[in-house]
Amino acid sequence: MNFSPEIKAYLELLAQQYPTIRSASTEIINLVADLQLPKGTEHFVSDIHGEFEAFDHVLKTGSGSIGRHIDELFVYELTDEDKSDLLALVCYPEEKLTELLKNTNDPAVFYRITLFRLIKLCRRVASKYSRAYVRASLPEDFSSVMEELLHEQEGVLNKEAYYLSIIDTIICLDQAGEFIEALVELIQRLAIARLHVIGDVYDRGPGAHHIMDMLMGYHNLDFQWGNHDVVWMGAAAGSAACMANVVRTALRYANMETLQNGYAISLLPLATFAMNAYKDDPCTIFFPKTSQDEEFTENELQMMARMQKAIAVIQFKLEAQIIQRRPHFEMKDRLLLDKINYKKGTIKIDGNEYPLLDTLFPTIDPKNPYELTKDEENAVEKLLQAFTKSEKLQQHVRFLFSKGSMYLVYNGNLLYHGCIAMEDDGSFMAIRVEGQEFRGKRFLDRLDRLARQGFFSKDPELKQYGQDVLWYLWTGAKSPLFGKSKMATFERYFIEDKKTHQEDKNAFYGLRDDEKTADTILEEFGLDPETGHIISGHVPVQVKKGESPIKANGKMLVIDGGFAKAYQSITGIAGYSLIYNSYGLLLASHTPFESKERFLAETAAMKTQTDILEYNQKRIRVKDTDEGRTIQQKIEYLQDLLSAYRSGLIKES
């Protein structure tokens, strides 16, 4: 048996893990068996936008998958009310247990019945996994007991008394409540094998930091960056322009929860500067957009308005500096401060002159409009230090880099947040850098590398360029995460004429209903157009206007349905999620989540609606997935190791 030096070196490393013929053979047996298991359920979500409670609820229900398991498993055994109670118990065990126990005369009987039902449900969701995987997922405190209950059959005569004694002992020891909570946590975990987050955790809602904490503890996930994520990533990396955008957006929507309480980032330097520079400015057009359930005093609103104007002007200056040093970004049309006639209070854009809604610019030198004042520089420096020194923010952003990417090809599907920038004729839009053209997959690969460079590089020039790219991903016309001709922030603030506010979408959005567009993109990323899908978010699907999330004859699925409350008036629903199990694809649409209290009171009325998009007559097995191909590769290496043992090339330990 002849192996190359590289393969022999790898086999010697593998031999450290499997030091004997028997151990290697046992692992091959286990892996071959694993290939025959049903494919694990994948769960796709996008555009969460800080809505922690709604997102938490979607994960707890598995986008309705747990409810479907209950309906199918207990179809003849339980009433609809009992099934709703069981679902609510799985989602919120502590609260539901309290409610159910109030309505029972015999807690022991209630616990016994409930434990039997939950164990039966847990067996069902665990059936897709090997015993070793389930064992590794068990909570430490109850692991041995749970393993016995999950793998014993209570109907078998010889084990019936044994099985019942375990249940009764749990109840007698007053551990039933804790055991139920541990059991439902296991059910939630096993119901979803892998979570795909297709971008935009940040902005709008108040709980982005809580969502990130949750994701960091999730058992298996990947992340495709959204435009609202990369701007936070850029700010954490040290990009002043990204930082200014993050702070301005928070102030515009009166949402400082994540900044101040989540990441301990103080806005005091900005407040101090704004009170000095804009103390006589009413800043009327900068009053924040607040929701009905938020209460602020007039003084608080005035303070936020001044801070918002201060950081907006700083942002325009910082962005101009990037545009000027990166001409290949092709964003000169965004240089607007030098187009202002400061005496007349007007601005000239594309040959048209417009009056400004606000003409007070105490920090702008008309002769050098893009230079920061010393006080602005001081405020920026202190804010940047707060972002780069925030331990939790740095931890979350590192997680986004480790688990995230610009796109992902997984199990025959292409996942990305926004678009693949295209020309009107359907060809991929190109950007030219140092004599090279980048487009399609090659462009996204380059952007992915440069984004990481902006956070991790130790070379100041490379790091600066990477940070500028992170900002470009947030706002650039060819950015696949943004996908519009411009971000009209200045115009929306300062010009009344709404024609100037127009942000034209990339041609991709006009072409995405065409099956040819989906085929072109899938082929570009090495996928089969006959079986592959593109799954994205970014642009809310306006369901109330009849728009469908299903594009290109089912080859493209847009699952931004409006998690964020700010978008629900546009979409008419409260978000989509997608389930890809061993039988096919299901699209789940969600109703607005007000509170867990309402769900507990109206579980039956608030069940997630799901529609089958594709159904496979032949069940998908692990061997048909990317994981299966990885397992098959390991089996082949282990078989090589067996050959090396048997030929004497490598000794058993």
pLDDT of residue 587: 86
Question: Of 435, 462, 494, which closes a domain?
Answer: 494
Q: Are residues 161 and 244 in the same domain?
A: no
Least confident segment among 130-144, 150-164, 397-411, 485-499: 150-164
pTM: 0.93
Tell me how many domains the chain contains: 3
Per 3-state DSSP, what percentage of the chain is helix, strand, and coil (rounded to 5)? 55, 10, 35
Identity at 456, one-letter amino acid code = F
Q: Tell me how far apart the alpha carbons of residues 92 and 85 are, in angstroms, rounded to a whole number.
A: 10
Contact 483, 538 (CB under 8 A): yes
> Both ends of the chain: CA-CA distance in Å?
20
Instruction: Please determine, for residue 408, whether its predicted confidence score (pLDDT) is greater than 80.
Output: yes
Q: Are residues 145 and 257 in the same domain?
A: no
Contact 534, 557 (CB under 8 A): yes
Strands 556-558 and 533-536: parallel
350-360 pLDDT, tens digit each = 999 999 999 99
615: helix, coil or strand? strand
Question: Which whole-number Å values give the CA distances from 115 to 142, 167, 170, 341, in the listed order?
Answer: 14, 8, 10, 75
Question: Which whole-number Å values give the CA distances from 482 to 6, 124, 335, 426, in the listed order?
Answer: 44, 42, 19, 18
123: helix, coil or strand? helix
Q: Tell me how far apart the alpha carbons of residues 414 and 417 are, in angstroms, rounded to a whole number.
A: 10
Instruction: Please determine, for residue 146, whether its predicted confidence score (pLDDT) is greater than 80.
Output: yes
pLDDT band at 476 (very low <50, low <70, confident <90, very high): very high
Q: Are residues 296 and 359 in the same domain?
A: yes
In-domain check, residue 426: yes
Instruction: Please determine, for residue 329, whether its predicted confidence score (pLDDT) is greater than 70.
Output: yes
424-446 pLDDT, tens digit each = 999 999 998 878 999 999 999 99
Burial of 353 (0-12, 13-18, 19+ CB in 10 A): exposed
In-domain check, residue 278: yes
In-domain check, residue 199: no
Instruction: Please determine, for residue 235, whether its predicted confidence score (pLDDT) is greater than 90.
Output: yes
48-105 pLDDT, tens digit each = 999 999 899 989 988 888 999 999 999 999 999 999 999 999 999 999 999 999 989 8
Question: Of 467, 494, 521, which closes a domain?
Answer: 494
In-domain check, residue 86: yes
Q: Tell me how far apart the alpha carbons of residues 7 and 347 are, in angstroms, rounded to a whole number.
A: 67
Strands 430-433 and 413-416: unpaired
431: helix, coil or strand? strand
Q: Tell me how far apart the alpha carbons of residues 630 and 124 are, in angstroms, rounded to a whole number.
A: 26
Q: Are residues 273 and 340 in the same domain?
A: yes
Instruction: Please determine, for residue 571, whether its predicted confidence score (pLDDT) is greater than 80.
Output: no
Contact 432, 550 (CB under 8 A): no
pLDDT of residue 384: 98
Q: Are residues 242 and 314 in the same domain?
A: yes
Q: Are residues 484 and 375 in the same domain?
A: yes
In-domain check, residue 449: yes
Least confident segment among 234-248, 449-463, 589-603: 589-603
Instruction: Please determine, for residue 568, whether its predicted confidence score (pLDDT) is greater than 70.
Output: no
Q: Are residues 174 and 299 in the same domain?
A: no
The average pLDDT across 478-504 equals 96
Q: Are residues 29 and 68 in the same domain?
A: no
pLDDT band at 544 (very low <50, low <70, confident <90, very high): low
321: helix, coil or strand? helix
Q: Tell me how far apart the alpha carbons of residues 72 and 91 are, in angstroms, rounded to a whole number.
A: 18
Question: Of 466, 494, 522, which closes a domain?
Answer: 494
Q: Are residues 29 and 69 in the same domain?
A: no
Q: Tell me how far apart the alpha carbons of residues 316 and 485 are, in angstroms, rounded to a whole number.
A: 17
Q: Tell me how far apart the alpha carbons of residues 553 and 419 are, in angstroms, rounded to a whole number.
A: 17
Instruction: Please determine, for residue 275, whether its predicted confidence score (pLDDT) is greater than 60.
Output: yes
pLDDT band at 153 (very low <50, low <70, confident <90, very high): low
Residue 83: domain span: 64-191
